[in-house]
Amino acid sequence: MKTKKMQKLLLGTGFICACGASAFAGTYANISIDGDFSDWGSVPLAYTAPIGPSDAIQYENVYLANDANNLYIRFTLYSPRSDAFANSYDNLFIDTDNNASTGFSVGGIGSEMLVQWGGGYQETSGNFNAGNINNLGWAIAGSADSMDFELAISRNATYASDNSPVFANNTIAVLLEGDNTSYTSVEFVPPSGGLAYTFAAVPEPSAFALVGFGLLFITDRLFGGRRNH
């Protein structure tokens, strides 16, 4: 985790914007974190960042999706980074209530959760690290050229402090951040306010699927019962 000195460097960015961004509707998708990005085909581009400083991670395109269990984030880069998020310089902040006036002030959001080096940490107003996150469900995989990454975070994550759910609200804001080797924040995606995202609902089963299940059940009762005699 970063030192208090690094926390002060981040605090300077917290008052860029005090307002939440307008959320866009989420995309429901079943994503496998395996470095094969073909299952992202139906997920729209959420944001394209301008190229950032070369002394930190250089985010390019960002995509967001979810299913019933996980939040999924995909990002491409302007330059390869083989250890993306496997270091203490690449950070993910999540404003779990999309309210800039609550949580830790950074990059125009109020962050309730920081993910750094695969670990989750609770954040509160004025507190960069207020305790651990349990059941984070962190998974990440990248392309062979280290230019494209996908990651997952469990929607069942809880705060270690009181076991309350991290994702208690349906709309969140996501902020990708990058430090240089001096732990100075030089990359924010987006620059301020985060990417507001509303979780997509679990799709209802289609009428065709329900009818098919009903026929299967009836068939099993008829022929299964005969096999038992």
Domains annotated on the chain, with CATH: 4-204 (2.60.40)
Return d(Cα 127, Cα 214) in angstroms, integer: 54
Is the pLDDT at 105 greater than 90, yes or no?
yes
Split at pLDDT 50, 70, 90, the class of 219 is: very low
Q: With 0-12 CB in 10 A as exposed, 13-18 as middle and 19+ as buried, what is 114?
A: buried
Which pLDDT value is given to residue 153?
A: 98
Return d(Cα 119, Cα 134) in angstroms, integer: 9
Is the pLDDT at 209 greater than 90, yes or no?
no
Name 7's Cβ contacts closer than 8 Å, sequence gap at least 6: 128
Give yes or no for a contact between 152 and 70, defined as CB atoms under 8 angstroms apart: yes
Which pLDDT value is given to residue 22?
A: 57
Q: What stretches of the chain show up as alpha helix (H) in DSSP?
A: 4-11, 207-227
pLDDT, mean of residues 116-122:
97
Name 46's Cβ contacts closer than 8 Å, sequence gap at least 6: 24, 62, 63, 64, 195, 197
User: Helix, strand or coil for residue 215?
Assistant: helix
Q: Which of 74, 55, 54 is nearest to 174 (CA)?
A: 74
Give yes or no for a contact between 87 and 56, defined as CB atoms under 8 angstroms apart: no
Q: With 0-12 CB in 10 A as exposed, 13-18 as middle and 19+ as buried, what is 217?
A: exposed
Q: Which of 69, 26, 66 is nearest to 150 (CA)?
A: 66
What pTM was computed for the model? 0.84
Which pLDDT value is given to residue 204?
A: 87
CA distances from 73 to 27, 142, 157 (A): 11, 12, 16
